[in-house]
Amino acid sequence: MLHGKTLALIFEKPSLRTRVSFDVAMQQLGGNAIYLSQSEVGLGQREPVADVARVLSRYVDVIAARTYAHQTLLDLARHADVPVINALSDEEHPCQAMADLLTILERHGRLRGVRLAFVGDGFNVAASLGLAAALAGMDFAMASPHGYELAEPTRRLIADAAAANGGSFQQCTSPADAVRDADVVYTDVWASMGQEDAYIERKEAFAGYTVDADLMALAKPEAIFMHDLPAHRGEEVDESVIEGPQSVVFDQAENRLHAQKAILALIASDQPL
């Protein structure tokens, strides 16, 4: 399907799942992928972002960028003549959200009306997950400590999308309120890449937000547990949960590959889908 096509992977941040899933996705679709680290490209340092975008547009058919600043992605997209995929920024992680919804659909057979509870920080993963859930007509509940909620503009986007598609949105501070009667319980690390300096502060703020067996017991009996990995066992999730029968984290990781293939086929194939 993508024979003769090339994907450039520009990564300011290291990655296991995102890098491998995109690389393998291109191979399985008949194309090729080139990995470019920050030390090789130096986005905005060794070379202006606009120049990188214009040069790569002469070489490749698609760019996937994993950046610290969302603005870097916007600048790449503005100056590139080929599609640019958000492979993660400090504001969004849409490719992860696509794999997450695929995993939920596989396990529950539907998306509309499914209650999804996210326990943790209102950062990029939660933002994209919440918006994707709202667009799919799901009920999205978010539990975060004060000061770590989703940004107000993001909350408005999710609330509006949920209302338009028959879903709902709830931002609260109590993990129990979010998880009660949930079909899906999702969490992520308390301090992600680039937030290491605030680790102690964040660990204190998120005390009581660990997804353990007691919290999972508040969800529906058939509820699944999700985490986008890597996980810090004993912090945001208890070992008994992530390794327990309700955990689908490795199915979720596998689905990064299938979701990436769908995204690439949609935007880069010359064949009608």
In this predicted model, what pLDDT tens digit does every residue of 155-201 receive, in sequence order?
Answer: 999 999 999 999 999 999 999 999 999 999 999 999 876 666 788 89
pLDDT computed for residue 234 by the predictor: 96
CB 220 within 8 A of CB 208: no
CATH number for the domain running over 94-242: 3.40.50.1370
Confidence of residue 239 (pLDDT cuts 50, 70, 90): very high
CA–CA dist 152, 159 (Å, integer): 10
- Among 126, 105, 97, 95, CA closest to 21: 95
| Cis, peptide link before residue 230, omega less than 30° from 0 | yes
Q: Locate the domains of the chain by residue range.
A: 6-90+256-268, 94-242
Average pLDDT rounded to a whole number, residues 127-152: 98
CA–CA dist 224, 249 (Å, integer): 9
CA–CA dist 62, 51 (Å, integer): 16
Whether 94-242 and 6-90+256-268 are alike in CATH topology: the answer is: yes
Residue 61 has pLDDT above 70, yes or no: yes
pTM: 0.95
Fold classification of 6-90+256-268 is Rossmann fold (3.40.50)
pLDDT computed for residue 230 by the predictor: 96
